[in-house]
Amino acid sequence: MKRRLFLTLIAAATATSASMIAAPVAQAADEVKIGFLVKQPEEPWFQDEWKFAEMAAKEKGFTLVKIGAPSGEKVMSAIDNLAAQKAQGFIICTPDVKLGPGIVAKAKADKLKMMTVDDRLVDGSGKPIEAVPHMGISAYNIGKQVGDGIAAEIKKRGWDMKDVGAIDVTYEQLPTAHDRTAGATDALVAAGFPKANIVMAPQAKTDTENAFNAANIALTKNPQFKHWVAYALNDEGVLGAVRAAEGRGFKADNMIGIGIGGSDSALNEFKKPNPTGFFGTVIISPKRHGEETSELMYAWIKDGKAPPALTLTSGMLATRENVASVRQQMGLASN
C-alpha cells in the first residue's frame, strides 16, 4: 500500500514537471511556434536546414522548436510535445517515409499543420501522400547532373571506360534516394559507360560509415578495375566510398566521387590541401529547404495561406575549383 502511494506521488511529480516544461504559462495568444523535425540531426545538411529555419524565425518573429527525430517513436512523441507546447505547425524530414499515414493521423489528432521537407511521405501502397505540402529536390535530374559530371571527368582523364568500375551506393527504400542514383546511372550509361561495370552497393543507413562498409564489399568483389567512380544519394555516401577506395590505394588520381549536398561534409573535403577522390558535389539549397519551408508554414498559420502542394528545388555541380563561386550563385556564400 505504502509503496503504491509512493509510486503515485512520483508519477504525479513527473507529470507536473513535464507539463511545466511543455506548456509555458506566459505564452502570448498570438505567438507562432513552429517545430522543425529532422531524421539525422548530426548530418551537416540538417544542421544547415535548421540554421536557415532560425533565420526565418528571427526575421518573422516566431519561435522555432528544433527536434532530432531518428525513429518513429521519437517522431510521435515530438508531435505530442509540440501540441502540448501550443505550437501550431511543424516541418518534418521523417526517419522513414512509410510512417506517412501514422504521422498524418498524429498531426491531425493534435490539430497541427504539417509540411514535409527532403523526404516525401508515402501511403500504404507506396504512393506519395499528396495532401501534405512538400519541398524536395528534383532527385532524378540532380542524379543526372552527378552522372554527367562523372562521365565528363572520365573523358577528360582519358580513361578507357572498360577499365572503370562504378560504385552505386544505394538506399532503395527511400524514393528520393532511388531517383537520385537512378539518374546518375542513366546519365553514365547514356555517356557510354558499360552497365556491367556498375556495382550496386546497398547501404543500411544513409551515413558515411554504412556507405564505407557497402563500398568495401563492392571493391573486394571487383579487383579487375583500374579506376573507380562513385555516387550515392548524398555527400556522406560518396565520402564512405571514397574512404573505402583510399584504403585500397585508389586515391584522387584513380577515383572520381561526386556527391549531392554541398554542406560541411563536402566543403571540408575541398579544404584539404591535396585533392581526394571526392571530386565534386551537386550543391542543393539548405536555404530554400530550411528558410522557405519555415516561411511557408508561418504564412499558413498566420494568414491561412497553404503552401504549394509540391516544390522541387534544383542544384549546381561544384568542384574544389569553383565551389566558392557556385555557393555564391546559389545565395549560400555569406552563410
Binding residues for ligand FCA, rule: CB under 6 A, are 43, 45, 93, 118-119, 137, 176, 206, 233-234, 260-261
CB of 237 to ligand FCA, least distance (A): 8
Residue closest to 51 by CA, chosen among 244, 264, 227? 264
CA distance linking residue 115 with residue 94, whole number of Å: 11
Residue listed under C-alpha cell 552505386: 168
Q: How many CB atoms lie under 10 A from the CB of residue 262?
A: 30
Residue closest to 282 by CA, chosen among 161, 166, 150? 150
Q: Which residue(s) pair with 228 in the sheet?
A: 165, 255
Q: Which is nearer to ligand FCA, 89 or 286 (CB)?
A: 286
CB of 184 to ligand FCA, least distance (A): 14
CA distance linking residue 265 with residue 274, whole number of Å: 16
Q: Which is nearer to ligand FCA, 83 or 93 (CB)?
A: 93
CB of 174 to ligand FCA, least distance (A): 7
Please report, for residues 31, 138, 162, 172, 311, the alpha-carbon distance to residue 182 in angstroms, rounded to integers and kept in the order given. 44, 12, 20, 10, 21
CB of 116 to ligand FCA, least distance (A): 10
How far, rounded to the nearest angstrom, does the alpha carbon of residue 288 sit from its chain's CA centroid?
A: 13
CB of 119 to ligand FCA, least distance (A): 5
Instruction: Give, for 89, the enclosing helix (H) or strand (E).
Output: strand 89-92
Rounded to 10 deg, the angle between the 44-60 and 293-303 helix axes is: 40
Q: How many CB atoms lie under 10 A from the CB of residue 98?
A: 15
CA distance linking residue 325 with residue 315, whole number of Å: 14
CB of 289 to ligand FCA, least distance (A): 7
Q: Which residues contact 332 (CB under 8 A, 6 or more apart)?
A: 262, 283, 285, 286, 287
Q: Which is nearer to ligand FCA, 129 or 252 (CB)?
A: 129
CB of 62 to ligand FCA, least distance (A): 23
Q: Which is nearer to ligand FCA, 165 or 257 (CB)?
A: 257
Q: Which is nearer to ligand FCA, 134 or 320 (CB)?
A: 134
HEC secondary structure over 5-46:
HHHHHHHHHHHHHHHHHHCCCCCCCCCCEEEEEECCCCCHHH
**CA angle, residues 273, 277, 281, in degrees to nearest 5:** 90
Q: Which is nearer to ligand FCA, 75 or 233 (CB)?
A: 233
CA distance linking residue 299 with residue 312, whole number of Å: 19
Q: Which is nearer to ligand FCA, 176 or 185 (CB)?
A: 176
Q: Which is nearer to ligand FCA, 119 or 164 (CB)?
A: 119
CB of 2 to ligand FCA, least distance (A): 52
Q: Which is nearer to ligand FCA, 81 or 208 (CB)?
A: 208
CB of 136 to ligand FCA, least distance (A): 7
